[in-house]
A and B are shown apart, each in its own frame.
Chain A
Amino acid sequence: MSDVVQSPASPSSLPDSRAKTPKAIRLYLGVLLGIAAALVALPFAVYPIFLMKVLCFALFALAFNLLLGFGGLLSFGHAAFFGGAAYVSAHAAKVWGLNPEAAIACGALASMGLGVIIGWLAIRRQGIYFAMITLALAQLVYFACLQAKFTGGEDGVQGVPRGHLFGLFNLADDRVLYAMVAAIFMAGLLAILRVIHSPFGQALKAIRENEARATSLGFRVERYKLAVFILSATLAGTAGATKAVVFQLASLTDVHWATSGAVILMTLVGGMGTLFGPIVGAFVVVGMESYLAPFGAWLTIVEGLIFVTCVILFPNGFVGALAKKTAR
């Protein structure tokens, strides 16, 4: 009977977000513990600054994936939240002299506000239009950042002080900074897992699978979409704000559409809609960017080739993650 309820080829072939059997729960906890252990062990093996960059982008990709994989919405403008928050937290730390945790919170809040506006506009259309609208609105944010005074135009905000966490721990020490970034990443990951497993997450899944039916069951679909959009924007902003503190820099690169493309690539490589895939994707893409940086435009070419290869060779593996409802 069970294959009638859910055939293996059905779109919901992604790891069932409600792990029911004890075995699944154990596996699930195992992965989480593995990630926690890796967070502790990796700085002894890998350059910590690189690792912090990976963690920031991994949180960014997880936030993006929450929207795409579990909300069924492909945003092509997530750089607006990542980069916008980076500017705000850099400004808060440098000009207002706030502690790093307060500066990061400012960035995340700013992203949340931006997410309310962009989400409110973009959820009016679906599918491909949604992607185009988010892209266009993010470009609007990009031009605003280019022209605004506090962003420093082409130079960006440089020399952001890392400061003292809670006024106590000096973040100039890379190890302390790493601990903070790892904690933020872990908190973000746990928050996303909590959301996915909540009734809210189940409702999102229902909307993704069949929007019309969810509406007929009495769900206010628009509100759910907006809520997950804002949540995703806030988390993406947290990632960007943290990155600004780590690298002491907020620049136009972070708001550029290429960054929106990069986060899509991370999610695509890792597997859309898988819970932990984006983390792997962030590792691969950030690693590739560092490795290929000396080769100029080759990075762009290789990224393009990976896009094409992933889409052509493994589309069926990813289809489940995307809603069946398509832009018509």
Chain B
Amino acid sequence: MSTIFGIPSNALFSQLLVGLINGSFYAMLSLGLSIIFGLLNVINFAHGAMYMAGAFVAWILLNEAGIGYWWSLLLAPLVVGLFGAAFERLLLARLYKIDHLYSLLLTFGLALIIQGSFRQVYGSSGLPYAIPAALSGGQKLPFMFLPNYRAWVVVASLSVCVATWLLIEKTKLGAYLRAATENPALVEAFGVNVSLLRTMTYAFGVGLAGLAGVLAAPIYSVSPSMGADTVIVVFAIVVIGGMGSILGSIVTGFGLGLIEGMTKVFYPQAASTAVFVIMALVLIMKPAGLFGRAS
């Protein structure tokens, strides 16, 4: 068996793949957080709970209604997004005029409610979600075995990220969004309904988290705690990348997933802390974040 730096290449590549998979989820989650933060100035603590809810909606659709994976990919983000829109309209929108820390506390409360509710109904142990038939099996590459589903997750996540980037940078709607991020009052004066734009942005951001949840369901078991720790890692990633740019959060998400995977190979004890240590280093050297604008 061939080795690289004394590590069997098999192990190296499969950990890299795990890193890439985690990176896919980090990228989608931090992308949603950045978009929401850009327009609403809100750090959505409920993002991890929305990710978990997306996975649960897919599980419930399959087990209660017999609706399979592919429909879930469409329906679960829709359900999560609609819920998010209602939450934004009814509660979050009341807090824009006061200190943003209150929105953080509100979304933290929402996260507790969602997590507690799912744990109350479905228990804390993970529920299995089968890989769809069309994506089972895998490819035998010369250096490793590549499961089809994992390849699909990376491709799907990349496509969604690129599509989101195009939507924001190249369409008229995206132009409104960017303009409203810069100066909401002025954009409102031009006749754009900024409060609707905020609701849509929040719904879209949490919808992305819901979609990430569906993609994650067959890889990790579906459990009420799946988003809670992830969201903290994603916060660290957002601090590392800075929230200035869309592309920045995608790159940082994938990059840190890979770094985390590499740490697992070379120094497994530090795998769960690598992202936080990098955050500390970035704070020392470039407090505004790698892609952030100094405030």
Contact = CB atoms under 8 A, between A and B. Distances in A.
Interface of A: 74, 121-122, 124-129, 131-133, 135-137, 139-140, 143-144, 146-147, 257, 261, 264, 268, 296-301, 303-308, 310-312, 315-316, 318-319, 322-324, 326-328
Contacts of A311: 95, 102, 105-106, 109
Interface stretch (B4-12, B115-123, B156-164, B256-264): B115-123
Interface stretch (B59-67, B173-181, B205-213, B233-241): B233-241
Contacts of B113: 300-301, 304-305, 308
A143 B101 contact: no
A185 B95 CA distance: 35
Contact of B120 (A127, A261, A297): A297
A74 B109 contact: no
Nearest to B287: A124
B108 A261 contact: yes
A264 B276 contact: no
Given A74-B104, A131-B104, A299-B116, 17 more contacts: A74-B101, A121-B283, A125-B239, A127-B101, A135-B232, A136-B233, A139-B232, A139-B236, A143-B273, A300-B115, A300-B116, A304-B114, A311-B102, A311-B109, A312-B94, A324-B99, A326-B99
A132 B116 contact: no
Chain B interface SS verdict (over half): helix
A304 B269 contact: no
27 contacts: A121-B280, A121-B283, A124-B283, A125-B239, A132-B235, A135-B235, A136-B236, A136-B239, A136-B276, A136-B279, A137-B276, A137-B280, A143-B272, A146-B272, A264-B105, A299-B116, A300-B112, A300-B115, A300-B116, A301-B116, A303-B116, A308-B110, A308-B113, A311-B106, A312-B95, A315-B102, A322-B99
A264 B295 CA distance: 27
B116 A298 contact: yes
B130 interface: no
Given A139-B232, A296-B120, A328-B295, A261 B112 contact: yes
Contacts of B111: 304
B50 interface: no
Contacts of B236: 132, 136, 139
B239 A129 contact: yes
Interface of B: 37, 41, 43, 91, 94-95, 98-102, 104-106, 108-117, 119-120, 224, 228-229, 232-233, 235-236, 238-239, 269, 272-273, 275-277, 279-280, 283-284, 287, 295
A299 B112 CA distance: 9
B100 A301 contact: no
Contacts of B287: 124-125
B94 A268 contact: no
Interface centre among A74, A125, A146, A297 (most CB of B within 10 A): A297
B238 A132 contact: yes
A261 to B, nearest CB: 6
B99 A306 contact: no
Contacts of B104: 74, 128, 131
A53 B193 CA distance: 51
A327 B232 contact: no
B38 to A, nearest CB: 12
A128 B101 contact: yes
Given A299-B116, A311-B109, A133 B239 contact: yes
A312 B106 contact: yes
The 4 closest A-B pairs by CB, nearest first: A307-B109, A304-B112, A300-B116, A304-B113
Given A121-B280, A136-B236, A140-B273, A319 B117 contact: no
Contacts of B106: 307-308, 311-312
Interface centre among B100, B102, B117, B229 (most CB of A within 10 A): B102
Contacts of B233: 136, 139
Nearest to A122: B283
Contact of A133 (B99, B101, B117, B279): B279
A313 to B, nearest CB: 10
Nearest to B269: A147
Contacts of A135: 232, 235
Contacts of A316: 98
